[in-house]
Amino acid sequence: MSATHGSTAATDDVLASGQDQVVAAWREMAACHAAACAALERELGERHGLGVSDFEVLERLAESDGRKFRAQDLAEAVHLSQSALSRLVDRLARHGLVERCGCDVDRRGIYVVLTEAGERRHAEAAPTHRGVLARHLPASMLGGQ
């Protein structure tokens, strides 16, 4: 680079080294995420008949006030498109784990509500979820535990 850009060979080496560390950290995080997701899919599926996204929706509903979430906000919270969430909610509703209900204030709005069966399934699956995360997340992310 030219001196007009304020860069020297030494500065370039430091930047390259820092970028290498950033890339290495990214790859480590991505590998950790992939391993945790694969283990969650396997264990939640085998033990509870749930996928990762299924569990995440039940978890968000269980944590929310009134055990309900506006569908649009829920999609954003669980990082799914509206259509993907709609298909997932259809599947959970067929199994009696959630229900859809209209919004009193905005008739266009739809709420997803956790049923008693959904609460039970979430409560049964939560220890599996937590155990998988405890085994796969680095201790540094768990506060050194």
In a domain, 1, yes or no: no
**What's the Cα-to-Cα distance from 62 to each of 100, 116, 128, rounded to whole Å?**
15, 10, 16
Per-residue pLDDT of the chain (145 residues; tens, 9 = 90+): 444 555 566 556 655 667 788 888 889 899 999 999 999 999 999 999 999 999 999 999 999 999 999 999 999 999 999 999 999 999 999 999 999 988 766 666 799 999 999 999 999 999 999 999 999 988 877 775 4
Can you give the pTM of this predicted structure?
Answer: 0.81
In a domain, 33, yes or no: yes
Range of the domain at 97: 8-138
**What's the Cα-to-Cα distance from 22 to each of 8, 16, 17, rounded to whole Å?**
21, 10, 9
In a domain, 74, yes or no: yes
In a domain, 47, yes or no: yes
CATH number of the domain bearing residue 120:
1.10.10.10
In a domain, 124, yes or no: yes
In a domain, 90, yes or no: yes
Q: Phi/psi zone of residue 6: left (φ > 0), alpha (ψ -120 to 50 degrees), beta?
A: left
In total, how many domains does the chain have?
Answer: 1
In a domain, 2, yes or no: no
Helix or strand or coil: residue 98? strand
In a domain, 17, yes or no: yes
- Under 8 Å between Cβ of 67 and 120: no
